Structure 1
């Protein structure tokens, strides 16, 4: 097994057959800094929720999964055997509600990724319709918002339209399923690659608590003081933003035990609500 790549959360290996093994860790990152304290079961929760969604979305777009069980035993539950792809260097983001960096961009520009939005929106506002707000996929530093036309200049009109349409379909399908189960998916990020046949393929993770914002339907309130109750890693971001002695650069702070436990509980809550399965670590 050859180690190919290390990301903030996942490691990528390749076996002698050319298959890739994508392994999710229990690490958590905020502001592009990996914190030193793991969240128990996080890697397995992300992997199992992604696998559930890959099945739900199989009629929308092919995915990279070959097997979730044919992986080395030490990575069972947190690894996926997948097909090699030529990954597209753009973060495909769909937003149905205004939050996070999208909110900050709106407050500055009145738009997100060049998509004009109505005046008077606040944190948590539902948008008139879901929007496609791509960003760069930075290897260093932070991702930056880019417009649809800027994506066209790199990938062409047909491919960019395909990426936008797939991103919005994945979001809309996922948001409808989750809402029936008491969760608002405020926004989500997906990644695509091109396979050996030239098809666009969904890769990495999909509709998880790391790649999405999950809010409880019955607690949602636009402009809610302190923001919406998060069932995702926003909870860790919010905790870290209260620290006066950390400048959001490496090394990050240790996460207190109570924040670790509360974060894990939110990830479990999202998994159980969405899938209907009881989490067994």
Structure 2
């Protein structure tokens, strides 16, 4: 916890891999689940990473989820870059909601487009998918590069079969191969009004969704454990299932619930 009352956590798989191990860690109400993959399937390293900041008083969460390729150097670079801008980001998160979203997007894109960052990317091996997510009040914002997934579960949305919020996009990365080296950088960005009641936010790297002999490509299957178990227990059960299916690659999950008191938008009568 920082002096400003913000709970902070960061991790990269090159420092602690969790190969053959399931780890459940809680940052206040946010649950982080990690499984480094099965050694018997050939796994020997973990290239995922994350940043999680929580401010209960100011009512926000800021998360970065990373899924790197070849080495974890690109995840390390992204984490160190934005942790170095911690004070600027926290100042942004203290602004009004609409100002926060606009300013945070501008900071991230300006950083990735900067010459010094692009040069730093050329001095590392590999590249990473990046998913930035901020929840403040009753609104959700994200910026997505690559194929990490962001889900939102709420009964009103699930009744309409709406779960996944971002567009998983392949062949997009930050790092040695870098979307920001293109004449037109490629990424997606979005915003969502949360519904009244309990909203479940869930981020995952791709191996959960793509694990053989499971149905986790169907979002409803991901959320089934949460119907009867706690957040921690449900994340653990998901990871135990893919471990049992002998998945090779690492999986990182970030899951939390937000209670919204005000009504969401409805169509006119």
Using structure 2 for the length normalisation, give the TM-score. Answer: 0.30
